[in-house]
Amino acid sequence: MPELPEVEIARRNLVRWFDGRRLVRADADDTRVFRGAERGHFALLHGRLESLVRRGKYLLFAFEEGRGLLGHLGMTGKFVRRSEGDVVPYSRARFHLDNGQVLHFADARMFGRMEPTPSAGLRSLDVVKALGRDPLADGLTSGQLEQAVASSKQDLKIALMDQARIAGLGNIHAAEALFRAGLHPARKPSTLTPDDWKRLVQAIRASIDFGLEEQQGEEPVYLEDGGSENPFLVYGRGGGPCSKCASPVESFTQAGRTTYACPKCQPRGRTGK
């Protein structure tokens, strides 16, 4: 699912679930979720969760005795809390707590990732070092946004999804932020005005805030989950009416990902409104 808001909610859930509890056993199945990482080291995790930091879509776990874990939810990864003995579909790894609860990392498609690493080294892992500013964890001004993104020659939406420029936006929230800012996804970053950058940084914040509210609660919420309505302003609304002006929302492909935009609210030309 997981873009910045969903990963942040996962982080908050885990912090709450671990609060005051001890990890008494960690076990994991032999799956590609561990990639090359030493799965045996996962089983050595134990004791208190001393800190859990999110950077972009990555989770950095620090347990006792300097044992750490890098986590990524991939496309379909999620953490769920169950009682001992409960069966969880696609459970790949489990934290057993001292209160009989079990925190499962469940991931059908296994694009997610678990990498046990000494906690002191988590931040110096290449994938973590490569991340740009995180709008929520680091804060983001319009100037910082411009500095990170304006130099890209790619389409604006692709640049926003580049984790090395800004960490945390994915296909949904990049589209949502651009809609909120009234900017067309195919705009070239170098053509944005200072006012565009200001609207865009506010739109990114608004999109993240909305995502955080949307995802509140115990269980992760997925787009197609429970047949619930599409909560997004433009994402997934191809062919349907724009939520602002009712003109038909267009969908097209950028760098292999589907993009949604309202041609009227997000003009391709110069500046947005």
Which listed range, 60-68, 114-122, 185-193, 256-264, lies at the site for DNA (CB under 7 A)? 256-264
- Rounded distance, CA 94 to CA 80, Å? 10
Please tell me which residue in 55, 57, 187, 199 is annotated as part of the active site: 57
Matching residue, tokens 């808001």: 5
Contact between 171 and DNA per CB under 7 A = yes
Matching residue, tokens 């309202």: 262
* Mask for 5-24, x = binds DNA (CB under 7 A): -x------------------
Q: Which of 16, 25, 32, 273 binds DNA (CB under 7 A)?
A: 32
- Rounded distance, CA 112 to CA 74, Å? 4
Q: Which of 255, 268, 270, 273 binds DNA (CB under 7 A)?
A: 255
- Rounded distance, CA 208 to CA 6, Å? 9
Cβ atoms 234, 260 nearer than 8 A: yes
Phi-psi region of 224 (alpha: psi -120 to 50; beta: other; left: phi over 0): alpha
Question: What is the Cα 12 distance to its own chain's centre?
Answer: 13
Q: Which of 1, 45, 106, 203 binds DNA (CB under 7 A)?
A: 1
Q: Which of 101, 144, 154, 271 binds DNA (CB under 7 A)?
A: 154
Matching residue, tokens 């004791």: 47
Phi-psi region of 12 (alpha: psi -120 to 50; beta: other; left: phi over 0): alpha
List the interface residues with DNA, window 63-122 (CB under 7 A): 72, 74-75, 108-111
Matching residue, tokens 């009416």: 241
Contact between 129 and DNA per CB under 7 A = no
- Is 153 a catalytic site residue? no
- Is 3 a catalytic site residue? yes
Least distance in angstroms from the C-beta of 34 to DNA = 13
Which listed range, 18-26, 94-102, 155-163, 184-192, lies at the site for DNA (CB under 7 A)? 155-163
Contact between 161 and DNA per CB under 7 A = yes
Per DSSP, helices labelled H in 46-166 are: 126-129, 142-149, 156-161
- Is 244 a catalytic site residue? no
Report the residue number, 99 or 147, with the smaller CB distance to DNA.
147
Number of other residues whose CB lies within 10 A of the CB of residue 126: 6
- Is 135 a catalytic site residue? no
In angstroms, the first-to-last Cα distance of the chain is: 32
- Rounded distance, CA 273 to CA 260, Å? 18
- Rounded distance, CA 235 to CA 159, Å? 18
Report the residue number, 238 or 263, with the smaller CB distance to DNA.
238
List the interface residues with DNA, window 220-249 (CB under 7 A): 221-224, 227
Least distance in angstroms from the C-beta of 26 to DNA = 23
Please tell me which residue in 25, 32, 188, 257 is annotated as part of the active site: 257
* Mask for 40-69, x = binds DNA (CB under 7 A): ----------------xx------------
List the interface residues with DNA, window 185-214 (CB under 7 A): none
Catalytic site positions: 2-3, 57, 257
